[in-house]
Structure 1
Amino acid sequence: MPRPIGNVRLKAARVAAGFNSQQDLADALSRAAKQIGIRGLSIGVRQVRRWESDSPPWPQPDCQRVLVHLLGQSVESLGFTPPWNPEGTQPDRTRRALVAGGVAAVGLAAVPGQAVATTQPATAGADFAAVTRSHRRLYWSVAPAKLHPAVLAHATLGCALLPETTSSTRRTVATALAESYLLAGRIDFFDRREPSSASDTLLLSLQAAGEADDPLLGSAILAHMAFIPGWAGDRDAALERMIAARTYARRAPASAEFLAWLDAVEAECETRCGDTRTALHLIGHAEDVLATGNEHPSPEWMDWFSPARLAAFKGNTQLVAGHLPQARETLLGVLDEMPATEDKQRSVVFGDLAAVEAASGNPGQACGYAGQALDQLALTWYATGMDRVREVRRALAPHQHERCVRDLDDRLYGWSTTVSALSR
């Protein structure tokens, strides 16, 4: 399969920043130039088109300033090669970042100062991808603090391998690299609650997906990127990324499960932004999509979604909407349907059931479910699950003198729980 056409790094950075067209980026660059005091600079869509071509010209100094200011990356990281550095190598600081396994500064370049002396055999792609698959499976049982460094180190190896591969082997490495960065970004956001790091890591994942020319993987990455502004209450930014995610999904055969998951992601963003009516409509549409189905299989890497997961999304939205009896019924059904391997999600469901009982004025039942969530978190840590428990404890403030709430506090603020939470 031929290499993807154009400057995929700039394209990925543009889409990740919420500019779905070249015209959008051109307009934003022109506005940004005025904001940072560069007078008379107007960047047109033809210029952006040249920058996203196979051979992007080195931007003029003022254009460089605006690009870096708006997109938050160095000019080299955006896919431009300095005219004094035609081989495309980068400064020593990038070499140090690669060696150290740093994420934000690594990009997809070869290790600087080293000529590519060999071409990796075809087996290199399969071998690299095999480790990526192993990390994907380990995510569900290995503590995030232990798995995260291993995933980043593996991604760093992929960055070094990529320039040494060609043709289908290069595409295999790039696809596995994108998946590795996606997993690291998921750990950053859901397990470690570090949205800024997650944003940087997911951008690298999107760039690698561009190298692989894998639109469905790109769609999944963009949908994960929508979670970040969505959870922060920035509805416009979340929906821009969801529009991009759906656009990418149309470019490849997408399974019913994948399309339903996109609805679920958008529904969660709408819920976090206060529009539960739209969220419930999206979840209803996702249920219909799953019920109808299609002939396309889900990708192997999509192991984070199922009908039970969709029901968990629904139960949380019903809770936020104040539909407490419906939320209770939905979430109890999720516990019955959830496979035994869903340890992380189980802590979230227990937390949501605790929130249902707290909102219903049942502090004893709320503390019981919160305790079950803590039992699960003691086995498999998940920051999102702990967030749910803390939200429940805040809701129980009017009952804080009751014995059950004090017992919950003893567990929530015990030595082992507190130290574990702070060390993750």
Structure 2
Amino acid sequence: MAERRYPPNRRLAWERLQRGWSYEEITERIRSEMTRAGETDTGLNANTVRRWEIGERWPDPRYRKHLVAILGKPASDLGLLTPDELAVRPEAETLHEFRRLWDMLTGDDNGNGWDRASVLRAFVGASMLPLVAPLLSLDPDAAHADSKTVDPDAYRLIVRCQRELYWTSPARPLYEAAYAHTQLGIGLLRAATGTNRASLASALAESALLTARLAFFDLSQPAIAERCYDVALAATREAGDHALAAAVLGHTAFIPAFGHDPASARPLIDAAIQHTWHGVSPMVRSWLHCVASEVEARAGAAAASRRHIDLAAGAIDGDSTPPEWLDFYDNGRLHSFAGYAALASGDHREATGQLDQALVGLTGTSAKQRSVVLADLATANGSDGDQAADYLNQAVDALHTDWYGTGLDRVRAVRPLLGDSRHGAQLDERIAALTAGRAALPGS
């Protein structure tokens, strides 16, 4: 075996994996860029790229410039700069990046429905707005490091407690607490060195993932969620945690899927599945196939949606023990995804059977999903107005007990089934009262 002469280039490997590219695919892309530039291919092959990633070789300058071009990232983000080159790198334009984020959230065309006060509530909490800048980089910062040893287990303990609270706590206060804890983790990671750094990065990825889930699924704020997913993904790279990387990419795919952009969601799923070939639990792969199934169902590709459900079921048979943080998926959730896929194909009988099983399987750690399952059952029974109305009213009851932004969205999507009927008018009144009551709550 060749001797490792350089540190493993995890940044380059992660960027390749996040695009779902094999060694052969990225090699071919480099060759294409060289041909386009009129340069001669001097024997580059897939094994060369592999050796760059594991530290046996350092990319020559003629390859480095093409890696920057095809990956769309600066050389520093791809691990292509030597320590001497990093030392003369200009400081990051943090203020410029913050202004870009602010404009994205508060511009007239942001499409998120947030005014500036809402952004302040989301970011600030207890004066968190000045701390947005650390989200922009996880790079070690010697200037802010101190001699204290960071305890990753203590940080992870709080992440674990917040994750447990997710199923029973109001979303907004928990989001603010999780966001603050993610900010803390970024600061700690930038000061961490040695063996603690990888463990702390993994815990930070869990925290950022939880924060993003709250922002997207509970509070319906995709722009905030996307930034937090970016932090989570960067942290998985620092940790070398393929399972978490797959989970973050899978969650990120929901953003374009919900936005009716399956073409942007599919590459994220493909990249996530690439990570699962690195010793990841089959349960993670099963969940990813369920995510892919929902992406295809929303795109109207019913056959592809059901094919992914079959793959999900096959994977879950191989290992029923998920990672600790994968508390959002189990056999019951598989039935829920399967029911949604059956709805997409118009098989309402199959959908009802799957969704009934999902409803029975819901536990205390999955109560938020009840409103979604009930709304889908209303769709499956749409030919019976009374039955559909009953399921939708049960869904609203569930939202009173366990608020879930995605659940309300699903109820509203199914509401047209009731038309101008008495049931429809009553449901509208209940939805209006629910949303008005929530708007009146402190911090909403």
**Equivalent residue runs for 1:64-143 within 5 Å:** 71=72, 86=87, 90-91=91-92, 93=94, 100-102=130-132, 105-110=135-140, 114-121=143-150, 124-143=151-170
For residue 395 of structure 2, what is the aligned residue in structure 1? 373
Q: Which residue of 2 aligns with 1:174?
A: 201
Amino acid corresponding to residue 257 of structure 2 in structure 1: G
> Structure 1 residues 174, 337: CA separation in 2 closer, same or farther (over 3 Å shift)?
same
* Aligned position for 2:380: 356
Matched, 1:145 2:178: no
- 1:191–1:382 CA contact under 8 A, matched in 2: yes
Equivalent position of 1:279 in the other structure: 305
Which position in structure 2 is the counterpart of 1:346?
370
The 1:56–1:389 alpha-carbon spacing in structure 2 relative to 1, beyond 3 Å, is: farther
CA contact (8 A) 1:125 1:173 kept: yes
Report the equivalent of 2:334: 310
Q: Which amino acid aligns with 2:254?
A: F
Q: Deviations over 1:219-270 (max 9, x none)?
A: 222222222333334444333222222221111142x422321221211111
**1:326-375: CA deviation from partner (whole Å, max 9, x where unpaired):** 212221222222213422100101111122223x2x22222221111111
Q: CA deviation at 1:14?
A: 5.6
- 1:331 alignment counterpart: 355
Letter of the aligned partner of 1:186 in structure 2? Answer: R
* 1:269 has 2:303 as partner: no
* Cα deviation, residue 125, structure 1: 1.1
CA distance in 2, matches of 1:216, 1:240: 17
Q: How does 1:19-98 map to 2 (within 5 A)?
A: 24=26, 27=29, 71=72, 86=87, 90-91=91-92, 93=94
Any idea what the Cα deviations from partners look like across 1:139-172, whole Å, max 9, x if unmatched? 1122221112221211121122124333332221
Bigger mean CA offset, 170-179 vs 199-208:
199-208
The alignment's C-alpha RMSD in Å is 4.1
* Conserved 8 A contact 1:179-1:205: yes
Q: 1:284 to 1:395 in 2, by over 3 A?
A: same
| Residue matched to 1:417 | 435
2:346 to 318, 322, 346: 322
Q: How does 1:236-275 map to 2 (within 5 A)?
A: 236-254=263-281, 256-275=282-301
Aligned partners of 2:22, 2:130: CA distance in 1, in Å? Answer: 33
Gaps of 5+ in 2: 99-127
AA of the residue aligned to 2:145:
V
Aligned AA (1:366):
A
Aligned with residue 391 of structure 1, among 404, 408, 413: 413
Structure 1 residue runs of 4 or more that deviate by more than 4 Å after TM superposition: 10-31, 39-46, 48-57, 73-85, 87-92, 94-99, 421-424
Contact 1:231 1:273 in 2 (8 A): no
Contact 1:13 1:203 (C-alpha < 8 Å) held by counterparts: no
CA offsets 1:163-196 (integer angstroms, 9 cap, x no match): 4333332221011011111112222322223333
Matched, 1:191 2:218: yes
Asked if 1:205 is matched to 2:232, the reply is: yes
Q: Is the 8 A contact 2:378 2:388 kept in 1?
A: yes
Alpha-carbon offset, residue 78 of structure 1: 6.0
Of 287, 293, 312 in structure 1, the residue corresponding to residue 318 of structure 2 is 293
Equivalent position of 1:226 in the other structure? 253
Q: Is the 8 A contact 1:4 1:213 kept in 2?
A: no
Q: Is this contact kept in 2: 1:363–1:405, CA < 8 A?
A: no
CA distance in 1, matches of 2:309, 2:201: 33
Which residue is 1:408 aligned to? Answer: 427
SS in 2 for 1:413: helix
Counterpart amino acid of residue 406 in structure 1: A
Which AA in structure 1 matches 2:155?
F
> Could you report, residue by residue, the CA deviation over 1:86-124 in whole angstroms, capped at 9, with x for unpaired residues?
187945837997973327842213468x34231515xx1
| 1:271 and 1:317 in contact (8 A); partners too | yes
Report how many aligned residue pairs link the two structures: 402
Q: Percent identity?
A: 31
- Cα separation, 2, equivalents of 1:407 and 1:127: 49
Q: Please tell me the residue identity of whatever aligns with 1:353.
A: L
Deviations along 1:307-337, one digit per CA (max 9) or x if unpaired, are: 1100011111112221112212221222222
**Whole-angstrom CA distance in 2 between matches of 1:374 and 1:111:** 49
3-state SS of the aligned residue for 1:342? helix
Report the alpha carbon displacement of residue 20 of structure 1 after superposing the two structures with TM.
6.1
**Residues 29, 70 of structure 1: 8 Å contact kept:** no
Contact 2:253 2:265 (C-alpha < 8 Å) held by counterparts? yes
Would you say the 8 A contact 2:17–2:275 is kept in 1? no
Q: Structure 1 unaligned runs (5+)? A: 32-38
Could you say what secondary structure the match of 1:302 adopts? coil
Contact 1:139 1:147 (8 Å CA) reproduced:
yes
| TM-score normalised to structure 2 length | 0.75
**Equivalent-residue separation in structure 2 for 1:30 and 1:203 (angstroms):** 29
